[in-house]
Amino acid sequence: MGMCLPCLGGAADDVVTTPDPETRRRHLAEAAEKRQKETTYRGVKNPEAVERKRKKQEEIEKQAVTTSASGGGGLKVVAGGLKVRAAALECG
């Protein structure tokens, strides 16, 4: 029995204190964001370029929505197309 007592003397030094809940939540959130980012860009050589393209595409879509909502109609008149149609009507 006396053999175990010297081992217990250093047991208090090996006790790991757990961080407070807020610190633990922050660390878990950071780890989750890191995992999500790694999963999102898996296999992508240049993730910054992909992010720029995605933002640019979103801006283009937003601009298209605001343009069509402002009464532009979304239709463009092409003068060359009208001339071709007019010539077809004259021949027919």
Phi and psi angles of residue 9, each rounded to the nearest 5 degrees, phi first: -65, -35
In the chain, what are the domain boundaries? 23-68
Q: Are 52 and 43 in contact (CB under 8 A)?
A: no
pLDDT score recorded for residue 59: 94
pLDDT, tens digit, 9 for 90 and up, residues 32-90: 999 998 888 788 888 889 889 999 999 999 988 887 766 555 566 666 555 444 444 55
Pick the more confident residue, 91 or 37: 37
User: Residue type at 39?
Assistant: T
7 vs 41: CA distance, rounded Å: 49
Q: Is the pLDDT of residue 12 over 60?
A: no
What three-state secondary structure class fits 90?
helix
Query: Global pTM?
Result: 0.37
